[in-house]
Amino acid sequence: MEIFETIRGIICEQLEIEDEETITMETSIMDDLEADSLDAVEVMMDIEDEFDIEIPDEDAEEFKNIADIVKYIEEKIA
């Protein structure tokens, strides 16, 4: 849950979303939040910094929603 909240915080800041509740595990950054490719890259880079991990582009391309990102991070930092 903590990982999800951190990611949600990063996304809200990057995309200037005020209501955190609009973001759930099922949210897709690009499809649901109208983010462009540069937004998505910036979110990924902030996540990399926050969790001190590296997310290769080919991995990032597989993420369909935030649940995928959470799962990915859980596996990386485990």
Site for another protein in 9-28 (CB under 8 A): none
Indicate whether 57 belongs to the interface with another protein (CB under 8 A): no
In contact, 27 and 66? CB cutoff 8 Å: yes
Smallest distance, Å, CB 5 to another protein?
Answer: 21
Given 2, 19, 21, 38, the residue binding another protein (CB under 8 A): 38
| Residues near another protein, by CB under 8 A | 36, 38, 42, 45
